[in-house]
Structure 1
Amino acid sequence: MESQIHSIHQQLVNKEISCVDLIKEKLELLKPNTHNTVNSLLDETALKLASKVDEKIASGETIGLLEGIPFGIKDVYMVEGTYTTASSDLLKHYKSAYTATAIQKLLDAGAIPLVKENCDSFGHGSSSENTIFGAVKNAKNPELVGGGSSGGSAVNVAKDYTVFSIGGDTGGSVRQPAGYNDVYGLKPTYGRISRYGLMAYASSTDCVGPIAKSIEDIRIVLNTMSGKDVKDQTTYTSSEIEQNSILSSDNITSVGYFKNFIESEAIDENIKKEFLSAIEKIKAKGIAVKALDFFKSDTLVSTYYTLAMAETASNLSRLDGTNYGNRIDADNLKESYSVTRSENFSEETKRRIVGGNQVLSQGFSDEIYLKGLALRDQISQNFENDFNEVDIIISPVTPMAPPKIGDSLKDPLAMYLSDAYTVGFSLGQLPTLTVPQGTETGLQLTAAKDNDELVLKFANFLKDTI
């Protein structure tokens, strides 16, 4: 699909449509909430902003490329004055006091927020079922999960309820639901976009990521949100990716894939067959393809969840109902903390907090947590070595097709293993893009750190190859 942002922009400029009518149309699509993607609508704000865009156009003023473009926001981002619930009981009445940097940059560019989108509570899940707002339904088949944790964001884009949405990716939470719903989803290089105002899950791998139906729209939104932020010391200054620069892939001569991903007993035979077919089509275009050795997928999953659970236990320790949240009073302060957290956290969130506290506890931290940190360093080094040999790494997004709603809740381990092909790139803090081609759940393209442009280039190449 060609850029919806460019198309809508031109229609607005030519006065073929009004911004108010566009926003009303999208809100009408969102209101029935047929796929459980909506936590709250920002209709009043959206219509006010749309009126201002129409006024500018009517007076002959020039509007920016993103002005008037409707978008969605995963409900883990602060947007001043809006409910920011993280799809949890604990924060179901919480209103943001400020706006996340990445979202503010989009607002400054004139994009219009429509909806706070459903997700796994605090980002804890891979199916968007761990939510107080009801399981997100897949855009293609409502009996299947929408993927997680940014399921609502991916489904809204796939159903054309939003032009683009902003998800959050910690271990695959943008890429996996993008694959489940046949859209593009990018996890940029860690630090390229500020995390300020994003509720922290695992601070060392959390990334702000755009979801859209075209590579060009991903590029536009990525450029808008990128940049150094004094409120997030992990951010850095990055170069803008030009439109023309991603149209040619002549400098990509070699592609690698991890053979143990494909040889794994966990991979669905159909996904394996489709992936190998895609590899053959890439070879036919004269690109060298190399099979690479890598850590086993169960090692990646255990390393990721060891570190992620430790970080989430630490990050969520502040949520006890004292300063904000749905406080439940008891006989004493300690009991109040206990009841508030027990009653308001989902089973999955409690599972991750307990696991994280275990990992960090005396007698276990040296044996488990520090070992996880050492393995993460080895994984990063392995990636550095790989990118000395190949330009791009290509992999399936998931080993299996989307499960039916309810199945993941019965088997948390299976849910964790669905992240087997995404978490490694999170640990390496690498730019990774899901493209809706190649297999039933798409393909994942990865480049070296701060080489986000390269994954967009290769994605454009694949459009005409697969």
Structure 2
Amino acid sequence: MESQIHKVHQQLVNKEITCTELVQQRLDLLKTNTHNTVNSLLDTLALELAKKVDDKISKGTSIGLLEGIPFGIKDVYMVQGTYTTASSDLLKNYKSAYTATAIQKLLDAGAIPLVKENCDSFGHGSSSENTIFGAVKNAINPELVGGGSSGGSAVNVAKDFTVFSIGGDTGGSVRQPAGYNNVYGLKPTYGRISRYGLMAYASSTDCVGPIAKSIEDIRIVLNIMSGKDVKDQTTYASTEITHDAILCSDTIKTVGYFKNFIESDAIDSQIKSDFLESIEKIKAKGIEVKALDFFESNTLVSTYYTLAMAETASNLSRLDGTNYGNRIESENLKETYAVTRSENFSEETKRRIVGGNQVLSQGFSDEIYLKGLALRDSISENFEKDFNEVDIILSPVTPNTPPKIGDSLKDPLAMYLSDAYTVGFSLGQLPTLTVPQGTATGLQITAAKNNDELVLKFANFLKDIL
């Protein structure tokens, strides 16, 4: 699909539509949508910003490429003065005191925020059902889940309620819902975009990620949000990715895939067949394809959840109703903490906190947590070895198609296993892009650290052959 950002920009410049009309149209769609994608509308702010864009255009002043472009924000990002609920009872009345760096960069570029989007509470889930606002419904089939945890963001893009949306990816939370809803979703190299103002889930793998309908739109938004931030010491200065740079894929000579992902008993037969067919089409274009050895899916999932639960237990320990949140008073301070957390956290969040505290506790941390850290190092070393042999690693996004709404809540283990093909790349902190081609839930393109440009190049190549 062509760039929606360029298309809307041209419509505004040509005065085919006013920015106020554009924003109001999208707000109306969001208000009436039946997919449960909206936690709160930013209508007053959006219309104020739209009027400023219209005033500039009426005066003949040129506008930037992102000025006036409507976008959505997963409800785990701070935007000053707006509700930031994380889809939780604990923060349902919390208003942000500041704005996340990544979002501020988009605002500075003139993009217009329309909505805080529904998601799994605190990012805990793979289906966007663990939310006080009701399960997000898939854009293609509303009986199925929208994917998670950035389900509302992916569905809003797929339904054209927003031009692009900003999700958050810890273990696949941008890539998996993008695959479920047939749109593009990028997890950039860890540290390329500041996490300041993103509610922390697992700090060592949390990434800010754009969701859009075209590779060009992903590129534009990625460039705006990237860069070093003194408020996030994991960030680094990155080179801008140009439009022309991602049009030529001649430098990509070898592609690898993990044979154990494809030979697994857990993979859906149609996804396996479609993936292998995509591999043959790549070979037909003269690219060498190598089958690679990797860790078993169960090892990846258990390593990821061991570390992610430990980090979320630590990160959420600050939420006790004292400084912010829905405090529930009890007979003493200790009981107040306990009741506030017990009543306000979702079952899935409590499951992850309990699991995290368990693996960090005396007698278990050496046996479980430190082993998880060692495995993560081994996974990163394995990736370094692989990228000495291949330029790109290709994989399915998920082993199965989206489940029906309600099924994941009955079987948390199945929900964790749905992340089997995404969490490894998170542990490796690698740039990974979901493209809506190749299988029913898309394909994942991964490159070595800091090679985000190469990922976008190969996405353009696949767009033309699949």
- Band the TM-score falls in, shorter-chain normalisation: over 0.9
Match of 1:161 in 2: 161
Residue matched to 1:278: 278
Say whether 1:450 aligns with 2:445. Answer: no
Q: Which residue of 1 aligns with 2:178?
A: 178
C-alpha separation in 1, matches of 2:173 and 2:219: 19
- 2:4 and 2:231 map into 1 onto residues whose CA distance is 32
1:256 alignment partner in structure 2: 256
> Whole-Å Cα distance in 2 between the matches of residues 280 and 98 of structure 1?
50
User: d(CA) in 1 for partners of 2:93 and 2:363?
Assistant: 39
CA RMSD, aligned part only?
A: 0.3
State the secondary structure of the residue aligned to 1:305: helix
What is residue 147 of structure 1 aligned with on the other side?
A: 147
Partner of 1:36: 36
- 1:287 aligned to 2:287? yes
- Structure 2's unaligned 5+ residue stretches are none
**1:380 corresponds to which letter in structure 2?**
S
How many equivalent residue pairs?
466
CA offsets, 1:160-205, max 9 Å, x none? Answer: 0000000000000000000000000000000000000000000000
Residue correspondence of structure 1 range 393-408 to structure 2 within 5 A: 393-408=393-408
SS of match in other structure, 1:321 = coil
Structure 1 length-normalised TM: 1.00
DSSP 3-state at the match of 2:404: coil
- TM-superposed deviation, 1:263: 0.4
Trace 1:416-435 onto structure 2 (pairs within 5 A).
416-435=416-435
Partners of 1:344 and 1:51 in 2: CA distance? 39
What is the CA–CA distance in structure 2 between the aligned matches of 1:464 and 1:345, rounded to whole Å? 46
CA distance in 1, matches of 2:401, 2:57: 46
Equivalence map 1:181-330=2 (5 Å): 181-330=181-330
- TM-score under structure 2 length normalisation: 1.00
What residue is the counterpart of 1:104 in the other structure? Answer: 104
Corresponding residue number in structure 2 for 1:66: 66
Cα deviation 1:62-105 (Å, max 9, x = unaligned): 10000000000000000000000000000000000000000000
2: CA distance, partners of 1:10 / 1:406: 42
The aligned counterpart of 1:83 is 83
SS in 2 for 1:147: coil
CA distance in 1, matches of 2:324, 2:6: 41
> Equivalents in 1 of 2:165, 2:295: separation in Å?
32
Q: Which residue of 2 aligns with 1:343?
A: 343
Shift in Å, 1:41:
0.2
Give the aligned residue type for 1:462: L
Task: Render the CA deviation track for 1:259-291: whole Å, top value 9, x for unaligned.
Answer: 000000100000000000000000000000000
Instruction: Tell me the residue number matched to 1:25.
Output: 25
Measure the CA separation in 1 of the matches of 2:11 and 2:127.
36
User: Does 2:118 correspond to 1:118?
Assistant: yes
SS for the counterpart of 2:172 is coil
Provide the C-alpha distance between the structure 1 equivalents of 2:14 and 2:155, rounded to a whole number of angstroms: 30
1:332 is matched with which residue? 332
Partner of 2:93: 93
Quote how far apart the aligned CAs of 1:16 are. Answer: 1.0
- 1:33 is displaced (CA, Å) by 3.2
Cα offsets for 1:207-245 (capped at 9, x unmatched): 000000000000000000000000000000000000000
Deviation at 1:32, TM superposition (A): 1.5
1:380 equivalent in alignment to 2:380 = yes
The separation in 2 between residues aligned to 1:463 and 1:327, in whole angstroms, is 50
**Displacement of 1:302:** 0.1
> Using the alignment, how far apart are the partners of 1:198 and 1:111 within structure 2?
18
- The AA in structure 2 aligned to 1:238 is S
Q: What's the counterpart of residue 131 of structure 1?
A: 131
Runs (4+) off by over 4 Å: none
- Secondary structure of residue in 2 paired with 1:328: coil
Alignment partners' CA distance in 2, 1:251 and 1:465: 17
Identity of aligned residues (%): 87
**How big is the shift at 1:107?**
0.1
Specify the alignment match of 1:358 in structure 2.
Answer: 358
Instruction: Give the counterpart letter for 1:422 in structure 2.
Output: T
